[in-house]
Chains A and B, each alone.
Chain A
């Protein structure tokens, strides 16, 4: 089975801090994604990457940036955390073939205080 691992399950940060959320996949997949999940809003795409050093903005990129220096790792960066960025963050990779579709990580619940 493909594994998508997010480094932290729960995170509490202070307003104004720079926050790094890490995601690692154990297959050689090009496409990786960061979503945030909020009640009543579903999953909203922040950024995605289709190859090393390649990135593209999603629907809500403001206040975020990403880094993909190696194929297996995709990092989401909150440049200056704010309380409205308190959310569940989900990383995903996209698979083709037998297990077509997204494989999500277990999520990071970030609280900004």
Chain B
């Protein structure tokens, strides 16, 4: 099956700085790559996703890039704020609905 690796496992950034989380996947047939954010004590929620026919997608302060050749994709958060502190999960899928998740990155934004 699909294997998704995510780095780093923890990330501490100063408020206002950028944060980058990287994921690699193993199955070249994967074509859907969502990112989920899980705040402490809450359920994961989709924040952004990208498909294999697109190289980059932005939504306000967050962006995702995809390199199909290298089989890796990244989440970029600019101008980080305290409410960005959470666990972020990347995922990959061939079918859209059957996701394989990375291990998660705990992001802490320091005031």
Contact = CB atoms under 8 A, between A and B. Distances in A.
Interface of A: 31, 33, 35, 40-45, 48, 58-59, 90, 94, 100-102, 104-107
Contacts of B43: 90, 104-107
A33 B96 CA distance: 13
A53 to B, nearest CB: 18
Given A41-B103, A43-B89, A59-B1, A102 B46 contact: yes
A102 to B, nearest CB: 7
Interface of B: 1, 4, 6, 9, 34, 36, 42-46, 49, 89, 96-104
Nearest to A4: B43
A104 B102 contact: no
B98 A42 contact: no
Contacts of A42: 4, 6, 89, 101-104
A100 B45 CA distance: 11
A102 B1 contact: no
Contacts of A43: 44, 89, 99, 101
Contact of B98 (A41, A45, A107): A45
A59 B98 CA distance: 10
A106 B104 CA distance: 18
Contacts of B9: 40
Contacts of B104: 40, 42
